[in-house]
Chains A and B, each alone.
Chain A
Amino acid sequence: MAILEVKDLTVNFGGLVAVNNFKLNLEKNELVGLIGPNGAGKTTVFNLLTGNHEPTSGEILLDGKSIVKKKPYHIVDMGIGRTFQNIRLFGNLTVLDNIKIAHNGSMDYTFLDGILRLPKYWKEESEANKECLALLSVFDLDGYAYTLASNLPYGQQRKLEIARALATKPKVLLLDEPAAGMNPQETSELMETIQSVKSTFDIAILLIEHDMNLVMGICERIICIDYGKIIAEGLPDEIKKNPEVIKAYLGE
């Protein structure tokens, strides 16, 4: 059964149909790419999946449960993690704290435990530190654990955002242009990271990307949308040759 099932998703912004009858079946441990020209509605699809926008109609099922009309933070708890096109880190906090905030859902000591520093606080905090540092080391970020997030180099910030999304223990990870602003060297490193994330954490990934090398290189399946509508869907090689896709990108 598909882990994420999207049926006839449509959203209407004051007369403008930004997403029109979007469909998706994301299988467990699948890596799907979402492409399309600028303004095609890719990020809007993400925002609908994460609860930042409410769909006009349609259904989104995560593991069989509907997530429509739920708050973004509830949807995170249910198992969707995301990154942003324009990086959104907690800049004045350390790299480790960025991860620990995302780890919040895995801790359950109370206010009183925290203020009085009761044993439960120490136990969970030290476990959290250990787990978060381990997660950082997957991304080679453990050396930066006590650096402020805003002081990280750009490429590392992108990685940190992915690590932070993973700290919420998602079943589905949404990556919004993870390679934006990266040079070819960094991009190819990122490709390896994404693939290792997929296998290490055993999750499904949906990614938006403009870098065709990356998309064609790692995606198992690609969906292309334009003007909010799916215009093509298939294997990377099929998409490359699809006349609709070429038309959407290059014009007539």
Chain B
Amino acid sequence: MKKSNQLVGLGFVIAFIAFVGISGLLFILALAKEPSVTYAYAGIVSCMLLMLVFSLAKKTSKTLKSYLNNAIAILIIIVIVYPLIAHNKSPELFPFLGGVSFKGYTTGIFILICINIVMATSLNFSTGFLGQLVLGHAGFMAIGAYTAALIANILFAAGLPIFFVIVLSLLAGGVLAALSGIIIGIPALRLRGDYLAIMTLAFAEIVRIIINNLNFTGGAQGLTGYASAQIMGLSKETFSLYVFFTMVICVAFLVLLARSRHGRAIISLRENEIAAESVGINSTKYKVTGFAISALVGGIGGGLFAFHMGFLQPSMFGFMKSVDILVMVVLGGMGSMTGSIVAAGVFTWLPELLRDFDEYRMVAYAVLLIVMMIVRPQGLLGVKEMSLSKMVRKIRAKLLKQSDGNLMEGGDE
């Protein structure tokens, strides 16, 4: 038992290093010259296959298997999606596709979906996990976006490589948003339920109005010409990789945190605050932490948005933006990260799909929203999470026509 645990730890560290290493390699190669993308791609595929071998090996522990499965799933997405994205720009890279590719427009939607996943999962952390209704998530997004844009300007002018410009600016945006999350988290301790929700709404409006009135943020006209992805000379195709991997890291961060002792403490506050305090959970500390983490990731999402858009206006971060994100969270199911991811995908893509019906588009969207809530008030997934390992185990159990009761077993997956 002990030994297998050590093995899990070791295995995980190896898998993690491999994952980070390979994705880092991909970045560097992709940044160098486009033809190298083929090599990076080959690297990813082989890394994936290696993980698959480990995952199928009998000796590998269950926990490690589940990590590997998830990593493989993530890589499968990029292995399938990336050629479709890159093919558009340089058809010679992936000759096997024979002309099938995303249009630049579709790549744009892919990027927006990833950004919205970051926004929705981060809001879900405070609203679904901590259990505090937040109506001002766009405020954190705005702080992250403007900070990232302004910092990127400085760093890019200083001649830093693009990779570092993006990473550092995103972090700066996230940290500043997290600080503001703490600032609003502390007074929020005194407020309950709807009053807290209104407080966050007011906070976001104040942020928007401050940005509107400052000079260095461009005021109401907005901020343009800063070091966005386009201005730094990053193609939409390459930038989509940044967005995708940032999204993966953000979601992994939130999920792993939620399944640690700190995450459990935060969830216990949602379930019953008085009971949580009665078993020694420091409600003050964990509430503020919950807000800060939600804001941190929300700020990073805002930063991605800034790099993607190329121009920022305070009106982009109004009350309606907060509502848009909240709709994704509630429709996906509060407390379900999987739900937020699915809903962010569907509700970014759907309005685009309905674009042909233009005038009736928003009416249809609104009707759908209402019908959805009446039919499934708990959201698509409720608090359920989809777990790859459980699915794999279920399928295997079905194939072997024997259920050995392992399906009930929880643990980290």
Contacts and interface: CB of A to CB of B under 8 A. Distances in A.
Whether chain A touches chain B in the assembled complex (some CB pair under 8 Å): yes
Interface of A: 50, 52, 71-73, 76-77, 81-82, 84, 88-94, 96-97, 100-102, 104-105, 107, 109, 111, 113-119, 121-126, 128, 146, 164-165, 167-168
B272 A77 contact: no
B256 A104 contact: no
Q: Which secondary structure dominates chain B's binding surface?
A: helix
Given A96-B410, A104-B264, A104-B265, A122 B277 contact: no
Contacts of B261: 100, 104, 107, 109, 114, 124-125, 128
Nearest to B410: A146
B275 A90 contact: yes
A102 B279 contact: yes
B402 interface: no
Contacts of A165: 278-279
B383 interface: yes
Contacts of A71: 277, 282, 284
A97 B261 CA distance: 10
Contact of B265 (A52, A101, A118, A128): A101
A26 B38 CA distance: 75
B274 interface: yes
Given A88-B272, A93-B267, A126-B5, A76 B260 contact: no
Contacts of B103: none
Given A109-B261, A111-B262, A101 B276 contact: yes
Contacts of A72: 274, 277-278
A115 B260 contact: yes
Given A76-B280, A115-B257, 11 more contacts: A71-B284, A76-B278, A88-B274, A91-B271, A93-B264, A94-B410, A101-B279, A115-B253, A116-B16, A121-B260, A165-B278
A3 to B, nearest CB: 18
Given A96-B410, A111-B257, A101 B9 contact: no
B130 to A, nearest CB: 14
Given A76-B279, A81-B279, A126-B5, A114 B272 contact: no
B264 A89 contact: no
A146 B262 contact: no
B97 to A, nearest CB: 37
Nearest 3 CB-CB pairings of A with B: A114-B260, A76-B280, A90-B271
Nearest to B284: A71
5 contacts: A101-B268, A101-B279, A116-B16, A117-B256, A122-B8
B264 A73 contact: no
Contact of B281 (A73, A107, A146): A73
A81 B275 CA distance: 11
A115 B260 CA distance: 7
Nearest to B257: A115
B153 interface: no
Nearest to A110: B262
Nearest to B268: A101
B232 to A, nearest CB: 29
Nearest to B8: A122
Nearest to B411: A129
B280 A114 contact: no
Contact of A164 (B274, B279, B335): B279
Given A114-B261, A122-B9, A92 B278 contact: no
Contacts of B262: 111, 114
A82 B278 contact: yes
A165 B280 CA distance: 10
A97 B281 CA distance: 14
A121 B272 CA distance: 25
A97 B272 contact: no
